[in-house]
Amino acid sequence: MYFHSVTIDLDGTLLDTVPDLAESCRRMLLELNEPPRSSTEIAHFVGRGIARLVERCLTRERPPEAGRLAAAISVFQRHYSAVNGRHSRLYPGVLAGLAAWRASGLPLGVVTNKAAMFTGPLLERMGLADYFACVVAGDTTAHKKPHPEPLLHACRQLGGTPARHLHIGDSKHDIEAARAAACAIYCVPYGYNEGEPVDAADCDGLVCDLLAAYRLALTHPDFEAK
């Protein structure tokens, strides 16, 4: 198997965004007179998009009512717009890995459950936007990961096919999306997995960082760097 295109998850794979998310949640909960959440809790809440993050922050004995949730999401978005990218950090190996993938000539994309209004600015502020030929955000398609549609959409945008596409992520949602789309899947162990660590048995490769992902791809006998 060799790859014609590669997509990478954003939160927990490229960037540690919990500091920004936690600060936005802190501000939201304070404004709504709700009890605070710890950064550890926030990290476990990340992975299904902003609406689910806010819902989890508000859920104590029972989930919030629809109107209260909608109002809280609006408050969160206002605060997140102010801090997005301010405290986020690149994970080790990201820049070296992206440079290696780009040098191979393979088109790269981002597939994330983060809304487009935050994804583009974050990539720009962190100096990553120019690496990617396409960005599939959480509201680009009708479904988010773990549905396969975002990955299939990225494949079309990158001019590849699922059978020769590699996705790199950090959670079971990335694994499920890739399996459903019939893509290869590598996982990093350091990201946001909702308390369920990824297992090497569940993916095609468990790698320490993006550079290791590139090196693993090179071990496939029919991998071709263009």
pLDDT at 223 over 60: no
CA angle 4, 8, 46 (to 5 degrees): 155
Fold of 18-83: DNA polymerase; domain 1 (1.10.150)
Q: Are 165 and 3 in contact (CB under 8 A)?
A: yes
Report the candidate in 176, 212, 216 with the shortest Cα–Cα distance to residue 194.
Answer: 176
Would you kindly state where each structural domain of the chain is located, as residue ranges?
5-16+88-218, 18-83
pLDDT (tens digit per residue) in 51-67: 899 999 999 888 899 99
Please give the share of the chain, as a percent, with pLDDT higher than 90.
81
**Residue 221: pLDDT band with limits 50, 70, 90:** low
pLDDT (tens digit per residue) in 76-91: 999 999 999 999 999 9
CATH class of 5-16+88-218: alpha beta
What whole-number distance in Å separates Cα of residue 78 and Cα of residue 169? Answer: 28
Active site residue 9: yes
Mean pLDDT, rounded, for 147-169: 97
Task: Choose the catalytic residue: 9, 11, 174, 204.
Answer: 9
> Taking phi first (over 0 means left), then psi (-120 to 50 degrees means alpha), and beta for anything else, what does residue 136 get?
beta
Write down the pTM of the prediction. Answer: 0.90
Exposed e or buried b for every residue in 186-200, given b needs 16+ CB within 10 A? Answer: bbbebbbbbeeebee
Question: Quick one: pLDDT at residue 50?
Answer: 87
Question: Quick one: pLDDT at residue 224?
Answer: 52
Q: How many CB atoms lie within 10 A of CB 201?
A: 6
